[in-house]
Structure 1
């Protein structure tokens, strides 16, 4: 049922025809696979679109819908043009309230006007602040008192928006801006909900939001903050009895532990995540957790255990995607599989094998995901240099630098600095000299 004030999307409903929402969602997932996208579309998502709760789809869904209905635009599909729902200009034109914490595509910094509005909004109720601060323009005032479906949807949309912007721009400029919606989400949980179904959605949404904010901290080098957010998400999963959220929390915790040099913890967290994932039906989730385990074994220098975990990861990955794959795993396709394996071989000191897998990751990656493309290129540059190919490594590094105009990631910048340090003692070919000079400027 549509929220009051939402305008039903009759055009999209007509395109569904006689198919049920579940059947149409399956068609969307098939179309996504045809173009190399991964979307976790289900009947509930289709229902939200038709109810008008989703005014404009994210970029992944946009590409899928335009592939399914060639020749039609977003407005033909019944959606609002993106420029009307994203950015300050659209809100100013329509008279919609400016969110103090809105996360949108046209910059991530606070300004004087948002500071003034923040103080004004904080005088209102918790749920009113939530609907606005989570950046979801619903067109109606949020209810007071207990949280309902509107607030649960706002939390879910905030998670999607953060992930979208991270794919495009990296974490550095987003982290502090995303922390306030997270605080609000947990305030909503404390305030209570209007029913069990809403409570389940809100717990899951708050946990996923904690993981998304934790990842922004992780990728921007704030490892202790990330550890705290991941622990918060794990506690939320345990309270809610949500094995999917628990597996996700352990997955991120394992990744963080590996990056922090706590390799035994990385292995244990990945194993715990695989135990939680057994209650689900997602082969891809188990594959990713096996890769996390492999990364821990590689850090410990245990090549045999790493190879066993990699073998399990490939076997589970080979079973293909399924309807049970979590929405947050949309990033996990063949390019990420190759990149994570490259990291394992790097940790084991097999630079040539690492470079081969990193090259495959770059070749397979959709250029739309700018942040991942920059990460894979940086990984390739590091592996080539250490494999004894300095000029090729410098060339790969140079291809990363233009992407940093759009991507703000402390992790990627640190990788480039490490590669520059590895090159500095060597010869001064023209390509290497250009890379070193441009890296210094960045």
Structure 2
């Protein structure tokens, strides 16, 4: 609901022209893909901008809008200056403001704070979701039982569905920039809140019910991924199974394909390679109805990774060939919102994992190098992951100096804003491989620095 102080953004409405809000949102998503940005734009977001509810876009949308309208400024687009909206100019940007997701630890970001501000406002505008708003907004977290007892007395509608969807986007944005370790425990309560809303709205029908089920399932997958990336594999398996069950009950094939995609990834990481093959193939069957070649490409890459884990080089190569063909058909408006991370860098990284599992270290290193070189630094967590893969492959390809140099870059990320048990474990493995190569230039420095950071990393888990 718009604030009484909101002033309609007529300039932005003029730029939309004769297109519907949905058509314009599709153009925004397409422009985002062109510059490797991640935005979840839909007709509702366009409506909020035009109504004046969003006085200044976050940094991701700012980059996309300026790409769409070269030569124009935010003011030309009808937005207010950031400092007048946030009131942060006088305080400067150092030290960084405390982030409600991480606490005042000095390693948060202004971007995260601004996203949190937007999210809280969206949750708190509806008086029917007071309890769920606190949970989904990562604010003061009430107990799950209190939440469940309150919700049945409330009307479950579009505001609640929007709150769940916004929580999914928020978690994904923060994970892109920071990794999972600092997020997982905080994300469990919003997940409980989402399923409490789903239970409370069991009699809800139509598009709102569909949105609520899809949102709860996507949130389960997002929290499952946080568990996965932070080394809690059994927790991740439980969350992915919950998402799959939600998809089956709701008849949501898009959610089903996503759940199978992550289940396959997890099974491969847990060493259950045949299960990983079956899950990837099941995901492809579900995705076949959705018209997204990029989604099919990702699921086929999951299958390729599983074949590689089984040592089946021929099966892996066949799946890689299919994946490249599908990926080459390009993106489309039918690609799921959650796949915004999947571009050429991720394709190269997943192929690197295949060759690494097959023991072809030089080939794996070439693909991992391409992934790191192509990745936008904006996605800090994935860039650190690709470099960790590259360091591991170089170490096994008998290139210790190069491995140590890349390993130092990963340590830079881990000492900054990125927290990921998965990445830390990959770097630990690289350090073990390089342990016998201390005489090589640069290796001792890397090993000493890695050893010095290990206790601090363990303390954060």
The structure-2 alpha-carbon separation of the partners of 1:180 and 1:83, relative to structure 1 and needing over 3 Å to count, comes to farther
CA distance in 2, matches of 1:186, 1:174: 19
Which residue does the alignment assign to 1:96? none
Which residue does the alignment assign to 1:336? 346
TM-score, with structure 1 as normaliser: 0.86
Which residue does the alignment assign to 1:432? 443
Q: Is the 8 A contact 2:137 2:167 kept in 1?
A: yes
Q: Which blocks of at least 5 consecutive residues in structure 2 are unaligned? A: 90-98, 113-126, 140-150, 454-461
Greater shift, 35-44 or 307-316, is seen at 35-44
Which residue does the alignment assign to 2:172? 163
Q: Are 2:220 and 1:210 equivalent residues in the alignment?
A: yes
Q: Is the 8 A contact 2:101 2:183 kept in 1?
A: no
The structure-2 alpha-carbon separation of the partners of 1:377 and 1:387, relative to structure 1 and needing over 3 Å to count, comes to same
Q: Is the 8 A contact 1:102 1:133 kept in 2?
A: no
The structure-2 alpha-carbon separation of the partners of 1:38 and 1:178, relative to structure 1 and needing over 3 Å to count, comes to closer
Deviation at 1:22, TM superposition (A): 3.5
Which residue does the alignment assign to 2:23? 23
Deviation at 1:77, TM superposition (A): 3.9
> Tell me, what secondary structure is at the counterpart of 1:430?
coil
Q: Are 2:155 and 1:146 equivalent residues in the alignment?
A: yes
CA distance in 1, matches of 2:173, 2:47: 21
Deviation at 1:34, TM superposition (A): 3.4
CA distance in 2, matches of 1:6, 1:263: 56
Which residue does the alignment assign to 1:182? 191
CA distance in 1, matches of 2:188, 2:402: 40
Which residue does the alignment assign to 1:272? 282
Q: Are 2:60 and 1:64 equivalent residues in the alignment?
A: no
Q: Are 2:362 and 1:352 equivalent residues in the alignment?
A: yes
Which residue does the alignment assign to 1:132? 134
Among residues 225, 234, 237, which one is paired with 1:224 in the alignment?
A: 234
> Tell me, what secondary structure is at the counterpart of 2:442?
helix
Q: Which blocks of at least 5 consecutive residues in structure 1 are unaligned? A: 90-98, 109-124
CA distance in 2, matches of 1:228, 1:85: 41
CA distance in 1, matches of 2:9, 2:291: 32
Deviation at 1:62, TM superposition (A): 2.7
CA distance in 2, matches of 1:211, 1:85: 33
TM-score, with structure 2 as normaliser: 0.82
Cα offsets for 1:374-404 (capped at 9, x unmatched):
0001100000010111111111111111111
CA distance in 2, matches of 1:12, 1:258: 46
Which residue does the alignment assign to 1:119? none
CA RMSD of aligned residues (A): 3.3
Q: Is the 8 A contact 1:101 1:178 kept in 2?
A: no
Deviation at 1:150, TM superposition (A): 1.1
Which residue does the alignment assign to 2:388? 378
Q: Is the 8 A contact 1:100 1:133 kept in 2?
A: no
Q: Is the 8 A contact 2:40 2:169 kept in 1?
A: no
Which residue does the alignment assign to 2:35? 35
Q: Is the 8 A contact 1:127 1:143 kept in 2?
A: no
CA distance in 2, matches of 1:191, 1:146: 9
**1:395-410 to 2 correspondence within 5 Å?**
395-404=405-414, 405-410=416-421
